[in-house]
Amino acid sequence: KQEVTQIPAALSVPEGENLVLNCSFTDSAIYNLQWFRQDPGKGLTSLLLIQSSQREQTSGRLNASLDKSSGRSTLYIAASQPGDSATYLCAVRPQTGANNLFFGTGTRLTVIP
């Protein structure tokens, strides 16, 4: 069974800092990896999706990397802003099965003005 771990569980940074969130997974046979953002009491918003054949994806100030062989992904946020405060979830889709995702428990990010 795929296990997804996110470290740290919580992170506080001053506004303007660059930061990295980490995600690791136990089974490297993945189809893709997706990063989500979740605001308190809200649903999940897809940020970036990396296919298993890709090494990274970028969207604005966000950059996600994937090292499938080592079972790791990072989400890099440049020049953090208070509006980036949220919980960030990492999820992997296995190569086989029902196309469902296996989630980590998330990193709660607070950007201090």
Binding site for other proteins (CB under 8 A): 4, 31-32, 34, 36, 42-44, 46, 49, 51, 89, 91, 93, 98-106
Least separation, in Å, of the C-beta of 70 and other proteins?
A: 20
Residue placing its CB nearer to other proteins in the complex, 30 or 111? 30
Contact 10, 19 (CB under 8 A): no
Q: Which is nearer to other proteins, 80 or 109 (CB)?
A: 109
Output 31 or 76, the one with its CB closest to other proteins.
31
Tokens of 70: 């080592």
State the nearest-atom distance from the C-beta of 82 to other proteins, in Å: 23
Quote the CA–CA distance of 70 and 80 in Å, as a whole number: 27
Tokens of 9: 């569980």
Please tell me the distance from the alpha carbon of residue 41 to that of residue 29, in angstroms, as a whole number.
32
